Amino acid sequence: MMRSEVLDPMILQNLADMDFGDITPGTASGTVVMTPSTSGTTAACATTNGILHVGACRAAQFQGSVPFIFNLQITKPAGNQITLTGPAGATMRLHDFTFAKGSTLMLGGSPTNPTYFVIGGNFIVYVGGTLDVARTQRPGRYNGTFTLSFNYN
């Protein structure tokens, strides 16, 4: 006997990109740690080694829908890191992705383990991480893209 079940497709939208705001390197290489909040795209950005941070601190926001009452597992980028590229090929590393659920109808999960039990079918997830900033970081805009896999069963 063989059995198979076809599930409804997941609907997923990227509603906001991650934004670390404006950063001035400190007296030594350090980090900007973005901790996403469960209440919206506003996040907390903490710095080390004299790094100055002003402006936006916005977590990435993903919103979606799965069939009623399913497990949702989010897979982080390979190695839990990506490289941002800036002027003249300068780079910064974004790593240690963290997560916050934005719906009371999501149970479980933790900042480092984005596995949730979605009761109402709809979900919101906010994503932050740690940005490495060198003392001699080249000034300019840095960009990068990360891929998350959203799976449900």
Q: Which residue has the tokens 């896999």?
A: 149
Whether residue 132 is predicted with pLDDT greater than 90 in this model: the reply is yes
Strand partners, 106: 118
Tens-place pLDDT, residues 66-80: 887 889 999 999 999
- 113/127 Cα distance (integer angstroms): 12
Output the pLDDT for position 76.
Answer: 97
Q: Are strands 149-152 and 22-24 parallel, antiparallel or unpaired?
A: unpaired
Entry pTM: 0.92
84-97 pLDDT, tens per residue?
999 999 999 999 99
Quick one: pLDDT at residue 34?
97
Residue identified by tokens 């790593």 is 95
